[in-house]
C-alpha cells in the first residue's frame, strides 16, 4: 500500500495546523518550526494568493486525509460508505475513520505515532478477539478486544508507548487496561471525540459534487 514517507512538518505547514500533535510525543523543536514558519512550504509560499471557495474545501479534505494517513482512493471509499449510512454524512465519515484499527491503537496509547501503529499492525503485532489481524484499515466494532501478541518484543514496544503516553487521555468509546495491555471497544465514536478542528461539512460539500 502506498504511504507518505516525507517530512510531517511540511504537511503541517501546508495545512496551517499541527496535524500529528507534534511535540506531544516527539521533540519540541518541530513545534517551534511550525510556529516560526507559519506559512506553507515552497519558494512562493509567502506571496499573497486569493483562496477560492473550492480551495477552502479542498484544504479541509486534505487535512482530514493526512490526519488519518489515507490517500484519495481510500478516502473516496470511506465517503461513499458514509453517504450510505443513516445520519449526518460528515459525522459518519469521521466515525468510520476513527474506527480504523491503527487509529484505535494510537488513541489507546499503545503506539507513539500513527506510522508506528500502522507498522505494528502490518507486521502482525496485534490481535482482534484473539485472532491475528494485519489490516490497519480494519474497522473495529463494539465488543472487539485488541491486544498485542504474546511476544516479548511486541509487549516491550507497547509497554514503552504506554509509559510515554501515560499523561494522555483515551477516547470515551474505548476501555484500556494497561496491566493486561488490552483495549476493549465499548461504543461508537461521536463527533466530540474527534479533537482536530476540521469542518466536515465543507468536505461533504466538496465530495458530493
Distance of CA 99 to the CA centre of its chain: 10
pLDDT in tens, 153-199: 888 999 999 988 887 788 889 999 888 889 999 999 998 888 788 89
CA separation, residue 4 to residues 7, 11, 139 (Å): 9, 10, 21
Given a cut of 80, is residue 7 above it in pLDDT?
no
C-alpha cell at 135: 489490516
**Domain spans in the chain, listed from the N-terminal domain onward:** 8-96+198-207, 100-185
User: pTM of the predicted model, to two decimals?
Assistant: 0.81
Q: How far apart are CA 22 and CA 149, in angstroms?
A: 28
Q: Are the beta carbons of 33 and 162 closer than 8 angstroms? A: no
Q: Which residues have CB under 8 Å from 176's CB, separation 6+?
A: 108, 109, 170, 182, 183
Burial (0-12, 13-18, 19+ Cβ within 10 Å), 141: exposed
For Cα atoms 172, 176, 177, give the angle at the middle one, nearest 5 degrees: 150
Domains 8-96+198-207 and 100-185 share a fold: no
CATH classification for the domain delimited by 8-96+198-207, as one of 1.10.1660.10, 3.30.110.30, 3.40.50.740, 1.10.1050.10: 1.10.1050.10
Given a cut of 50, is residue 22 above it in pLDDT?
no
pLDDT in tens, 41-72: 665 565 667 778 898 899 889 889 988 989 99
C-alpha cell at 197: 478542528
CATH 3.10.290.10 correct for 100-185: yes
Amino acid at each position: 500500500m502506498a504511504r507518505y514517507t516525507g517530512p510531517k512538518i511540511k504537511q503541517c505547514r501546508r495545512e496551517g495546523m499541527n496535524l500529528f500533535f507534534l511535540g506531544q510525543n516527539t521533540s519540541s523543536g518541530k513545534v517551534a518550526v511550525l510556529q516560526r514558519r507559519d506559512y506553507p512550504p515552497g519558494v512562493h509560499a509567502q506571496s499573497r494568493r486569493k483562496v477560492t471557495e473550492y480551495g477552502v474545501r479542498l484544504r479541509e479534505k486534505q487535512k482530514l486525509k493526512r490526519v488519518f494517513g489515507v490517500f484519495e482512493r481510500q478516502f473516496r471509499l470511506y465517503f461513499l460508505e458514509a453517504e450510505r449510512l443513516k445520519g449526518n454524512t460528515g459525522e459518519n465519515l469521521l466515525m468510520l475513520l476513527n474506527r480504523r484499527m491503527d487509529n484505535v491503537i494510537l488513541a489507546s496509547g499503545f503506539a507513539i505515532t500513527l506510522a508506528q501503529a500502522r507498522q505494528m499492525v502490518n507486521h502482525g503485532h496485534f490481535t482482534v478477539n484473539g485472532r491475528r489481524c494485519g489490516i490497519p484499515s480494519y474497522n473495529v466494532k463494539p465488543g472487539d478486544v485488541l491486544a498485542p501478541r504474546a511476544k516479548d518484543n511486541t509487549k516491550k514496544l507497547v509497554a514503552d508507548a504506554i509509559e510515554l503516553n501515560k499523561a494522555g487521555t483515551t477516547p470515551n468509546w474505548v476501555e484500556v487496561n494497561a496491566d493486561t495491555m488490552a483495549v476493549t471497544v465499548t461504543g461508537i465514536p461521536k463527533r466530540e471525540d474527534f479533537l482536530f478542528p476540521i469542518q466536515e461539512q465543507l468536505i461533504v460539500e466538496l465530495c458530493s459534487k
